[in-house]
Amino acid sequence: HVQLVESGGGSVQAGGSLTLSCEISGHPYDEFCVGWFRQPPGKKREGIASIHTSGDGILYADSVKGRFTVSQDTGKNMIKLRMDSLEVDDSAMYYCAAGITRCVSTINALAVIMHYWGQGTQVTVS
């Protein structure tokens, strides 16, 4: 039974940084494509980053490229999303998701391969 648990959200001033974490359990760790998504109130969900737990598959949406960095801590079965230079428009509920598959080549197709979702963590930038 695959489970994803996010942590690390909170409130920050514009220009600040936050790091989100997503702990994965319930299946051999090295077989997942993991995605980060966000959904502001009243807006569509957006895929913003991906990484495969084998180490490849790193993609970013244009909206976060150069400011967000996805990485992993294999010793803790954890995917991280480092968010720098945060802007008010980055405020959203952030979700990690995973699929037991290779990652896709375009960020817009990421949601299609995600079968497991975390509960979400709120990020508020003011």
SS3 75: helix
Q: Are 92 and 85 in contact (CB under 8 A)?
A: no
Rounded to the nearest integer, the mean pLDDT of the chain is 96
Q: What is the pLDDT of residues 45-81, one digit of tens each?
A: 999 999 999 999 999 999 999 999 999 998 999 999 9
d(CA 126, CA 105): 33
Task: Give per-10-residue mean pLDDT for the chain (126 aa).
Answer: 95 98 93 97 96 95 98 94 98 97 94 96 98
Helices in 13-68 by DSSP H: which ranges? none
Helices in the chain by DSSP H: which ranges? none
